Amino acid sequence: MQLNSHRSGRLRPSLRLLPIIALLVSCTKEAPPPVPPRPVLTRVVGEIADEEALTYSGELRSRYETPLAFRLSGKISARLVDAGAVVKAGQVLARIDPADSALSAAAATAQLDLADADLQRFRNLREKNFVSQAALEAREASFKAAQAQAGLARNQSSYTVLKAEQAGVIGLISAEVGQVVAAGQTVMRLARADTLEVAIAIPEGRMSQVRALGAAEVTLWADSEARYAGTLREVSPVADPVTRTYAARVSIDQPDARLLLGMTAKVRFLRSAGGQRLSVPLTAIFQDAGRPALWVVGADQTVSLRPVAVAAYREDTALLDSGVAAGERVVVAGVHKLSAGEKVQLIALPDASPRSAADRSDQATP
């Protein structure tokens, strides 16, 4: 008992020193380093022309696309061109078997010869007053009918050859050698290459705007540097029952050799409000209590939230009416992680170009 009490008496001073030792150890530790500023993407707001672009995808077509067909029925014996062939006016494109038409022409020629012989005989008999004048007139009428029938048979013989009535490009082949076709059945389609235009489809909600604009810029998907002036030439008065769009044609001014039938083209209608507005990326817009706002970077690299008035939202930008001024720097990424008065590290992006103001597009296929 005395031994245990003696030991406990020796331990009590040690226990009393533990808080003091812990305090001394904590004082010797280094203070935590300061938190570095948060890096953010920023951009200087600049004025841009208040232009709106309506853009539609389409296909290069010819204004004049003529279906070609034989004028009589028969079996196709030869096709001399393929799809995509460039043909000249008067060039032979296809033929049908001429056997039947040749027999019809031979029969008509024989009937004409017989009618001619009868007419000559009746004229001699009439001079001798052996037949009446009415009988002679009947033979004259039979001769004229046989003459017309022979001429029709000769024309039908020429219809066995299909020729191009004008220069152009064969865009469609719908009949092959050995196929029996009816008179007037489309065999191929000929498109003139000198009257190229773009076929597009316009949504019903944009009809009034597109009609008011008229002028357009045409670019090629295969060659972005190729740009042409265009004009809205024609708009269908009836909407497509499935897509609810209106078919339209945009003519191209001064086309060149880079334009080929069937190419994908983009038609861009420009509209200018005649003023200057501020444009910021959509990622810069922060919703504060249901209202749009921007994080503006001050001279001391601290951010402050400022309400703005948005005039219009586009595909990836927003046009502003008020709230910020040209030349101010705003945060364009990570806006939901910031707090007012926070110091940030700037990562600058290039200023908005005027072309980015016309990024609104309505895409549709014809």
Mean pLDDT on 286-315: 87
**Fold match between domain 65-92+166-193 and domain 98-159:** no
Question: What mean pLDDT is predicted for residues 15-20?
Answer: 58
- Of 90-94, 193-197, 252-256, give the range with the top mean pLDDT: 90-94
pLDDT single digits (tens) 140-176: 999 999 999 999 888 888 899 999 989 999 988 999 9
Q: Topology of 98-159 in CATH?
A: Helix Hairpins (1.10.287)
DSSP secondary structure of 109-164: HHHHHHHHHHHHHHHHHHHTT-S-HHHHHHHHHHHHHHHHHHHHHHHHHHTTEEE-
Fold of 65-92+166-193: OB fold (Dihydrolipoamide Acetyltransferase, E2P) (2.40.50)
Core vs surface per residue 183-198: b (16+ CB within 10 A) or e = eeeebbbbbbbeebbb
**321 pLDDT above the threshold of 70:** yes
Count how many Cα atoms sit within 13 Å of the Cα of residue 229 in the half-sphere of its side chain: 3
Percent of the chain scoring above 90 in pLDDT: 36
Asked if 59 and 199 touch (Cβ cutoff 8 Å), the reply is yes
Residue 181 confidence (pLDDT) above 90 = yes
CB 77 within 8 A of CB 97: yes
Going by C-alpha positions, the residue among 124, 116, 119, 109 that lies closest to residue 139 is 119
pLDDT of 5 > 70? The answer is: no
216 alpha-carbon distance from chain centroid:
13
Residue with the bigger pLDDT between 36 and 7: it is: 36
Query: Average pLDDT of the chain?
Result: 82
The continuous run of DSSP H or E covering 294 comes out as strand 291-297
What is the average per-residue pLDDT within 284-307? 89
Report domain extents, the chain.
37-63+195-366, 65-92+166-193, 98-159
Residue 333: closest CA among 297, 289, 291: 297
Residue 33 in this model has a pLDDT that exceeds 70: no
Token match 């269908």: residue? 236
Say if residue 8's pLDDT is above 50.
Answer: no
Say if residue 22's pLDDT is above 70: no
- pLDDT for residue 251: 92
Decide the pairing of beta strands 180-181 and 74-79: antiparallel
The predicted pLDDT at position 145 comes to 93
Q: Would you say 345 and 301 are in contact if contact means Cβ atoms under 8 Å apart? A: yes
- Which tokens belong to 184? 């007037």
pLDDT of residue 68: 94
DSSP reduced 3-state for 104: helix
Mean local confidence (pLDDT), 6-22: 53
CATH class (in words) of the domain with range 37-63+195-366: mainly beta
- The mean pLDDT value for 286-300 works out to 89
Tell me, what's the pLDDT at 162?
A: 94
> Which is higher by pLDDT, 360 or 20?
20
Q: What is the per-residue pLDDT across 104-121, written as a single tens digit (0 to 9) for each?
A: 889 999 999 999 999 999
Give the closest residue to 298 by CA, choosing from 48, 47, 36, 37. 37
Report pLDDT digits (tens) over 329-364: 999 888 888 888 888 888 876 655 444 444 444 444
- What does DSSP say about strands 286-288 and 168-173: parallel, antiparallel, or unpaired? unpaired
Q: What is the pLDDT of residues 245-254, one digit of tens each?
A: 999 999 998 8
Flag the least confident range among 50-54, 135-139, 284-288, 293-297: 50-54
* Residue bearing the bigger pLDDT, 250 or 30: 250
pLDDT at 265: 93
Q: Which residue would you say has higher pLDDT here, 10 or 97?
A: 97
